Amino acid sequence: MNAFIDVEPIEQVLELVKYTGSLLADQPTFVVDCEAKISAGQVTEVLDTLITNSHAYYKGTKDIESIFNSMSRLLCAPDHYTTGLVKTLADALASEAITGHEAARMKVLCNLFNYLDRTSSSRFDLYYNLLILAGRTGAIDALKSQFSQIDQWVVDWSISTEQARTLYRTVHNVCGTAGEGSLGCTFLMKLLQTYDSDEGDLTDDVQALAAQLIKQTLGDPNVYDVEELFSLKAVTQLESQPVHKLLTVFMKASLADFRAWTAEYPEGLAGFGLDEVELTRKARLLSLAKLAAEQRVVDFAKICEELDIPETEVEVWIIDVIRVGLIEAKVDQVKSQLLVSRSTHGTFETEAWTELKDQLTDWRTNIVSCQKVLHEVMRRMTALPAASK
């Protein structure tokens, strides 16, 4: 159904006024008052009044979606459009005081969102309320496919930094409520990135968000790479705190360091809401991946020592570390060795950068040498016809 058909705006306003008045028994002069305002050219004020009283539509006989689509069309008319009216309608549709008709209300918000120009700042108010309503009703799956566009929308809408933060925070919150922790962490990261260029000191609330991001990242069984978190200003300001030290442990990929941390902070993991068994497993897998990055051939005895496990469990851990994608390797059971073809390096510090620089320098030298040889071959081949004459 096309929600925005051509109808005379004033007639449509009058129809809505009469229908709304029929539902407001406690406002006997509602219709007369609105008609007087319309005659005085105060149509925008009447539209605001209709939105304010829109709760009455839910007990009426007409289709909710059609009524709100009609109102949306009026709000988008050039003579009446204001960002304030769109926000008021969006807030009303997502109001917690209204129960029922959630699918219809979400559809109206989507219709109006899609109808507005892609650069309209009013799209922020619509999408924010759409997120709130979807999160409250467990319908976040209907919006997930759009999340990849949010960064571009922030640019298109030219919204303030505070509005962008509100948007990222809301996505994070509704994802958490819906059990989409990994997806929520992505937007918590985006939220904290907005503070990286902030010249002022980060507030306690922002630092609390940084700590929350660390905990959620470490607690996610599918996340092993934590290096990106260290690029956040809000995270670096936690450097002296136990949660930051724990993050450092997992960047270094050391089971020994993890055990040292738990010994220093025996109640730490429980206080962070983290499972010690799961984090110990993650620390072992990362330690094995780091070991594989340092040696192309790893003896089972070395794995036993590094992971503190009996040799009977070595192949189980190897299968697990391959399964989660940290390494690619095969097992030589005869020699009791792990033969590594690829490993995810847990961290990339100064020594690693120096090694990479040396390799690139060698490659560049070799390429230059090859070019010289090719040029010489081409010169000789070009000279052959002349010599034969």
What would the pLDDT profile of 299-311 be if each residue is shown by its tens digit?
999 999 999 999 9
pTM: 0.80
Instruction: Please give the structure tokens belonging to residue 107.
Output: 């559809």
- State how far Cα 125 lies from the chain centre: 19
Judge whether residue 8 has pLDDT over 80.
no
Judge whether residue 356 has pLDDT over 70.
no
* DSSP code per residue over 216-256: HHHH-TT----GGGGG-HHHHTTTTSHHHHHHHHHHHT-HH
Which of helix, strand or coil describes residue 100? coil
Percentage helix, strand, coil, to 5, in the chain? 70, 5, 25
In whole angstroms, give the CA distance from residue 285 to residue 76: 56
Distances (CA, A) of 221 to 251, 281, 373: 15, 9, 52
Domain boundaries of the chain, sorted by first residue: 1-137, 284-343, 358-389
In whole angstroms, give the CA distance from residue 297 to residue 231: 33
Per-residue pLDDT, 358:
61
Confidence of residue 382 (pLDDT cuts 50, 70, 90): confident
- Using one digit for the tens of pLDDT, what is the confidence trace for 142-162? 999 999 999 999 999 999 999
- Using one digit for the tens of pLDDT, what is the confidence trace for 62-105? 999 999 999 998 888 776 668 899 999 999 999 999 989 999 99
Per-residue pLDDT, 357:
56
Least Cα distance to 169 among 132, 211, 217 occurs for 132
Find the angle CA(293)-CA(297)-CA(298) to the nearest 5 degrees.
80
In whole angstroms, give the CA distance from residue 366 to residue 360: 10
Average pLDDT, the chain: 89
Judge whether residue 5 has pLDDT over 60.
no
Per-residue pLDDT, 3:
42
Judge whether residue 199 has pLDDT over 80.
no
User: Which is it for strands 337-343 and 297-299: parallel, antiparallel or unpaired?
Assistant: antiparallel
Q: Which CATH class is domain 284-343?
A: mainly alpha
